[in-house]
Amino acid sequence: MTQQIAIKEGLFTWPAEKPELLGSRCIHCGEAAFPAQNDCRACGSRETEITALGNRGTLWTWTIQSFMPKSPYLSDETPETFKPYGVGYVEMPGGVRVESRFELIEGQVPHIGMSLDLVILPFRTDESGQEIMMFSFKPAEE
């Protein structure tokens, strides 16, 4: 079986039955950040703790990446196999809007306010054959 590894440790709980995004929360002012950071950008405190941000969010704004980006984008695609993807800010129950890719459904135009569920998907395969896993979102099934 192909081995799978997270694109970066600490971005999401995985493997897990219901993966969640992980961020940090300032123990002084309560502001959340993604990805987790040691210092709080809101109040300047150096005391933050890791917190789960949830797995269902609401689309706050969006666009569609219609052409294959150049470096630093790193995928297995070629300009011929490239498929447009959604990019948006997803308002999470943890109290922060997280920038993320989201899956486009054919014939369905994304809209502000739509419900999205977190998914952890294979993004590319590295030189040693491992699948690199990345967080994304897909429209929630109500």
List of residues contacting other proteins (CB under 8 A): 7-8, 11, 23, 31-35, 41-42, 60-67, 69-75, 85, 87-89, 91, 95-101, 112, 123, 134
Please, what is the minimum distance in Å from the beta carbon of residue 58 to other proteins? 11
Please, what is the minimum distance in Å from the beta carbon of residue 124 to other proteins? 8
Which CB sits closer to other proteins, 117 or 124?
A: 124
Which CB sits closer to other proteins, 8 or 18?
A: 8
| CA terminus-to-terminus distance, the chain | 33
Which CB sits closer to other proteins, 29 or 140?
A: 29
CA distance to 50, 66, 123, 130, per residue, from 1 (Å): 32, 33, 17, 10
Please, what is the minimum distance in Å from the beta carbon of residue 71 to other proteins? 5
DSSP-assigned beta bridge partners for residue 24:
33, 50
Nearest CA among 24, 61, 60 for reference residue 43:
24
DSSP codes joined into one string, 45-71: -S-EEEEEEESEEEEEEEEEE-S---T
Please, what is the minimum distance in Å from the beta carbon of residue 133 to other proteins? 11
